[in-house]
Amino acid sequence: MEAYVLAVSISEKKGVKKENIPEGLLIENFGLKDDAHAGNWHRQVSLLAIESIEKIREKGLDVGPGDFAENITTVGIDLVNLPIGTKLKIGDSALVEVTQIGKECHDRCAIYRQTGDCVMPREGIFVKVLKGGKVKKNDPIVII
């Protein structure tokens, strides 16, 4: 199965569900335009697989892309097992590098409070943008 983008999402604040947008702009050494997590650091953009979200849906919760505060929801790629340093080409031109797998959840975010669980700390990954470009639903994701 070919890996691709299912959704692109942004939010004005950290720790809240993100809103799906038709198209996003990844900016080199910054992140996703208009997103609270963008900046000059190692966790510029977050990715979470729909396969991870499905695990929470199986518990009877109505959740979907962006609900776990991820910027890019993916299909068909085993994100959590990608080694740090893996480069991914997203869409026509964007290039990102995996910088972190999972994260420590210091205080329970809005997602956890609403669902009683959050897969993002266990199965989400973080990347920095090496080369900018537009990203949208159905864009291919290729491991470089």
CA dihedral sign of residues 104, 56, 9, 139 = positive
The predicted pLDDT at position 59 comes to 77
What average pLDDT score do residues 45-72 get?
90
What average pLDDT score do residues 32-47 get?
95
| Residue range(s) defining the domain that contains residue 61 | 4-143
How many domains, in total, are found in the chain?
1
CATH number of the structural domain spanning residue 88 = 2.40.33.20
Residues 111-128: pLDDT tens digits? 566 666 666 667 889 999
Phi, psi of 125 (to 5 degrees): -125, 160
What average pLDDT score do residues 32-46 get?
95
pTM for this structure?
0.90
What average pLDDT score do residues 70-79 get?
96
Percent of the chain with pLDDT over 70: 86
